[in-house]
Amino acid sequence: MENIIANKSYAFALGIIRLYQFLSEQKKEYVLSKQLLRSGAAIGAMVKESEHAQSKADFLNKMNVALKEANETEYWLMLLKDTGYINNKEFDSINADCTEILRLLISIVKSTKASLKK
Protein backbone atom coordinates (compact mmCIF):
# COMPACT_ATOMS: atom_id res chain seq x y z
CA MET A 1 0.00 0.00 0.00
CA GLU A 2 1.30 3.44 -0.96
CA ASN A 3 2.10 5.76 1.94
CA ILE A 4 1.16 9.15 0.50
CA ILE A 5 2.42 11.26 3.42
CA ALA A 6 5.74 9.38 3.48
CA ASN A 7 6.25 9.87 -0.26
CA LYS A 8 5.25 13.53 -0.24
CA SER A 9 7.31 14.40 2.85
CA TYR A 10 10.38 12.67 1.36
CA ALA A 11 9.99 14.52 -1.96
CA PHE A 12 9.47 17.75 0.00
CA ALA A 13 12.68 17.14 1.99
CA LEU A 14 14.58 16.75 -1.29
CA GLY A 15 13.19 20.12 -2.44
CA ILE A 16 14.14 21.70 0.88
CA ILE A 17 17.70 20.34 0.57
CA ARG A 18 17.97 21.81 -2.94
CA LEU A 19 16.65 25.15 -1.70
CA TYR A 20 19.14 25.08 1.19
CA GLN A 21 21.99 24.43 -1.26
CA PHE A 22 20.83 27.34 -3.44
CA LEU A 23 20.48 29.71 -0.48
CA SER A 24 23.85 28.86 1.02
CA GLU A 25 25.81 28.71 -2.25
CA GLN A 26 24.15 31.47 -4.32
CA LYS A 27 22.67 33.83 -1.74
CA LYS A 28 25.24 33.25 1.04
CA GLU A 29 22.36 32.93 3.52
CA TYR A 30 23.17 30.49 6.31
CA VAL A 31 20.93 31.16 9.33
CA LEU A 32 17.35 31.01 8.01
CA SER A 33 18.24 28.35 5.48
CA LYS A 34 19.74 26.09 8.18
CA GLN A 35 16.53 26.38 10.21
CA LEU A 36 14.52 25.60 7.07
CA LEU A 37 16.68 22.57 6.35
CA ARG A 38 16.29 21.26 9.89
CA SER A 39 12.51 21.61 10.10
CA GLY A 40 11.81 20.68 6.47
CA ALA A 41 13.77 17.43 6.69
CA ALA A 42 12.36 16.61 10.13
CA ILE A 43 8.83 16.26 8.72
CA GLY A 44 9.71 13.17 6.72
CA ALA A 45 11.92 11.82 9.49
CA MET A 46 9.00 11.88 11.93
CA VAL A 47 6.67 10.32 9.36
CA LYS A 48 9.25 7.55 8.82
CA GLU A 49 9.56 7.03 12.59
CA SER A 50 5.77 6.72 12.85
CA GLU A 51 5.83 3.66 10.59
CA HIS A 52 7.14 1.67 13.56
CA ALA A 53 5.27 3.43 16.33
CA GLN A 54 4.78 1.35 19.47
CA SER A 55 1.11 2.29 19.79
CA LYS A 56 -1.57 4.52 18.31
CA ALA A 57 -0.68 7.13 20.93
CA ASP A 58 2.99 6.96 19.89
CA PHE A 59 1.93 7.26 16.23
CA LEU A 60 -0.19 10.30 17.10
CA ASN A 61 2.72 11.89 18.95
CA LYS A 62 5.04 11.45 15.97
CA MET A 63 2.43 12.83 13.56
CA ASN A 64 1.91 15.82 15.86
CA VAL A 65 5.66 16.50 15.85
CA ALA A 66 5.69 16.22 12.03
CA LEU A 67 2.79 18.70 11.92
CA LYS A 68 4.67 21.15 14.15
CA GLU A 69 7.76 20.85 11.94
CA ALA A 70 5.69 21.48 8.81
CA ASN A 71 4.15 24.54 10.42
CA GLU A 72 7.62 25.81 11.37
CA THR A 73 8.87 25.15 7.85
CA GLU A 74 6.06 27.29 6.47
CA TYR A 75 7.23 30.11 8.77
CA TRP A 76 10.84 29.94 7.54
CA LEU A 77 9.64 29.91 3.93
CA MET A 78 7.57 33.05 4.54
CA LEU A 79 10.56 34.78 6.15
CA LEU A 80 12.80 33.84 3.22
CA LYS A 81 10.24 35.25 0.77
CA ASP A 82 9.57 38.42 2.73
CA THR A 83 13.30 39.16 3.10
CA GLY A 84 13.91 38.67 -0.62
CA TYR A 85 16.04 35.53 -0.43
CA ILE A 86 13.50 33.67 -2.57
CA ASN A 87 11.11 35.21 -5.05
CA ASN A 88 7.34 34.75 -5.18
CA LYS A 89 7.54 32.04 -7.84
CA GLU A 90 10.07 29.99 -5.83
CA PHE A 91 8.01 30.50 -2.68
CA ASP A 92 4.70 29.58 -4.33
CA SER A 93 6.12 26.35 -5.69
CA ILE A 94 7.59 24.95 -2.48
CA ASN A 95 4.97 26.47 -0.18
CA ALA A 96 2.21 24.72 -2.14
CA ASP A 97 3.89 21.42 -1.26
CA CYS A 98 4.24 22.50 2.37
CA THR A 99 0.54 23.44 2.53
CA GLU A 100 -0.45 20.06 1.07
CA ILE A 101 1.67 18.26 3.67
CA LEU A 102 0.15 20.39 6.43
CA ARG A 103 -3.36 19.45 5.28
CA LEU A 104 -2.49 15.76 5.14
CA LEU A 105 -0.92 15.82 8.60
CA ILE A 106 -3.88 17.72 10.08
CA SER A 107 -6.21 15.09 8.65
CA ILE A 108 -4.07 12.23 9.98
CA VAL A 109 -3.87 13.80 13.45
CA LYS A 110 -7.62 14.44 13.58
CA SER A 111 -8.58 10.95 12.43
CA THR A 112 -6.07 9.32 14.78
CA LYS A 113 -7.36 11.36 17.73
CA ALA A 114 -10.92 10.33 16.85
CA SER A 115 -9.95 6.65 16.68
CA LEU A 116 -8.27 6.86 20.09
CA LYS A 117 -11.48 8.20 21.65
CA LYS A 118 -13.52 5.18 20.53
**CATH number of the domain bearing residue 89:** 1.20.1440.60
Rg (alpha carbons) of the chain, rounded to whole number: 15
Query: What integer pLDDT is reported at residue 118 of this predicted model?
Result: 76
In a domain, 116, yes or no: no
Of the candidates 17, 3, 13, 15, the one whose C-alpha atom is nearest the C-alpha of residue 104 is 3
pLDDT per residue rounded down to tens, the chain (118 residues): 789 999 999 999 999 999 999 999 999 999 999 999 999 999 999 999 999 999 999 999 999 999 999 999 999 999 999 999 999 999 999 999 999 999 999 999 999 999 998 7
Q: How far apart are the C-alpha atoms of 62 and 84, rounded to whole Å?
A: 33
In a domain, 117, yes or no: no
Count the domains in the chain: 1
Query: What integer pLDDT is reported at residue 106 of this predicted model?
Result: 98
In a domain, 73, yes or no: yes
pTM of the model: 0.95
Domain of residue 40 covers 4-111
